[in-house]
């Protein structure tokens, strides 16, 4: 069995994330994931996706000139599409890249955490959680996104789980497969049920990922 380093997991996870954005883009008006040296920009010019998916992933540890070129390419991609507000994702330890972005007027909006592991390494018992039908539209409702979001996405390209408490749907998660990698996104719990499904929403995401794959 191949042993993956943290760097390997990061790169695999980044490619799976971008592949999921490309899948969303196939069903959204005028959308695309534009890849340039050092950056991949998800460009969604139309609603309802416009409010959520305009973000770019910058490669880490680039040389000075390459960082500048990557940021220029990112800004050009959004300018051509008429998009004035977007997010630039930079690795937290890449201080030179963060400094370059700050010099251009970007400000910190939020921290996004990612983690990765081999599903074969899971040693925790699966949480005792009641699961409901894997319904795409119920998944969207629990996320709290606008109707028709994402407009033309193919539900068959994704795997969803819905968790229940006392017969009510209260939590959800979505997985996307790229080759042997599985990205788990949008793990969401309604505030009224956070204590009841903590195992689903926070401590056992990898276990839920395995469940997502088993049920589909």
Answer positive or negative: Cα dihedral of 138, 140, 15, 116: negative
* CB burial of residue 65 (10 Å; 0-12, 13-18, 19+): exposed
Decide the pairing of beta strands 55-58 and 159-165: unpaired
Q: Given a cut of 80, is residue 199 above it in pLDDT?
A: no
What DSSP designation does 212 have? H
CA–CA dist 185, 180 (Å, integer): 16
pLDDT at 3: 75
pLDDT for 214: 45
- Residue 162 has what pLDDT? 87
**Four-CA torsion 86, 202, 185, 215, nearest 10 degrees:** -170
How many Cα atoms sit within 13 Å of 59 on the Cβ side? 19
Q: Which of 187, 191, 163 is nearest to 173 (CA)?
A: 187
Each residue of 57-99: pLDDT tens digit? Answer: 999 999 999 999 999 999 999 999 999 999 999 998 999 999 9
Q: Find out whether 188 and 179 touch, Cβ atoms under 8 Å.
A: no
Please give the residue that has the higher pLDDT: either 1 or 130. 130
Q: What is the pLDDT of residue 137?
A: 86
pLDDT at 30 over 60: yes
pLDDT at residue 135 in the model = 81
Are 177 and 14 in contact, with CB atoms under 8 Å apart?
no
For residues 24-31, average pLDDT: 91
Q: Sheet holding 130-131: strands in order across?
A: 130-131, 159-165, 168-178, 181-189
Q: Tell me: the pLDDT tens digits for 147-178?
A: 677 767 888 899 888 888 888 888 888 889 99
User: Mean of the per-residue pLDDT values for the chain?
Assistant: 84
């Amino acid at each position: 069995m191949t042993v993956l380093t943290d760097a390997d997991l990061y790169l695999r996870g980044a490619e799976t994330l971008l592949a999921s954005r490309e899948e969303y883009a196939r069903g959204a008006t005028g959308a695309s994931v534009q890849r340039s040296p050092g950056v991949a920009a998800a460009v969604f010019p139309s609603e309802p996706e416009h409010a959520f998916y305009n973000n770019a992933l910058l490669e880490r540890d680039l040389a000075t000139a390459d960082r500048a070129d990557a940021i220029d390419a990112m800004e050009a991609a959004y300018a051509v599409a008429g998009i004035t507000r977007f997010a630039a994702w930079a690795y937290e330890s890449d201080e030179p890249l963060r400094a370059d972005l700050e010099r251009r007027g970007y400000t910190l909006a939020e921290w996004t955490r990612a983690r990765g592991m081999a599903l074969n390494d899971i040693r925790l018992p699966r949480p005792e959680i009641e699961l409901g039908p894997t319904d795409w539209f119920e998944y969207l409702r629990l996320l709290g996104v606008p109707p028709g979001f994402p407009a033309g996405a193919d539900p068959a390209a994704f795997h969803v789980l819905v968790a229940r408490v006392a017969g009510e749907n209260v939590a959800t998660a979505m997985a996307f497969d790229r080759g042997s990698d599985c990205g788990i996104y949008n793990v969401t719990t309604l505030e009224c049920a956070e204590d009841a499904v903590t195992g689903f929403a926070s401590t056992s995401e990898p276990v839920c990922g395995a469940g997502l794959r088993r049920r589909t």
